[in-house]
Amino acid sequence: MGYPMLSHRLRRSIRGQGGSTLIELLVAMPIAVMLLGLVVQALGNAGLHQQDIERRTEALTNGQLGLERMTREIRQAEWLYFRSSSVVDIEVGVRPSATASATPRLVRWNCSTDVCERSEGNPTTYPPPTAPVFVKTSTEIGSPSADTGARYGLITGHDVFQPTSIDPQTGAASVNFLDPDFLIVRLRLETEGRGENLALEDGVSLRNETTFAG
């Protein structure tokens, strides 16, 4: 006598429980997949953006360090010889080590390709020979990444060296490769990311130098 009543109560309890039907699952699954795809895409974009930032930071750091060394040596040079707007030869004191005294060396800064190279050789009389001998060359700007080997911050546009003379009366600046009193150094660096190219600029007073050519 009690069993039919128990069965009836059990069926009523089961019908009262919440649950998802097959149709509801079929509707919810595509929505869940779409939301998951959006999340994955957002994470991927965030990763690419972070890579862009890291590459630009590395290119900027590399360019700033190279530009600082370049302008420091030009500022301290005994003489300059401009072979073009992208190549300059100088004679400057170089320390072979941190504790050694500076000795005169012939140094060439060559930014005529997609990198800026620094070459160093024995000192020579002015003007330097057409094809001087250099004992070592290093890439100072546009060098490979220490982590990935990829190169960031390559040179684009090779009008790097812009020697000028400034009119003391008008203050007007004009290009002057023979007797400049100021040198503008401009670097435009490419990056592999989706951002704009980087631009670095510095100026060097040449009042201490007495000999120029170009």
Q: In 10 A of CB 161, how many CB atoms?
A: 25
The confidence score (pLDDT) of residue 184 equals 92
pLDDT for residue 42: 65
Q: Name, of 81-90, 161-170, 183-192, the range with top average pLDDT.
A: 81-90
Residue 195: pLDDT band (50, 70, 90) is low
**Residue with structure tokens 């649950």?**
19
Indicate the range of 54-58, 169-173, 189-193 predicted with least confidence.
189-193
Residue 146 near residue 54, CB atoms below 8 Å: no
> According to the per-residue pLDDT averaged within each range, which of 40-54, 148-162, 195-209 is highest?
195-209
- What are the pLDDT digits (tens) for 99-144? 889 999 999 999 999 889 999 999 999 999 999 999 999 988 886 5
Q: How many CB atoms lie within 10 A of CB 70?
A: 25
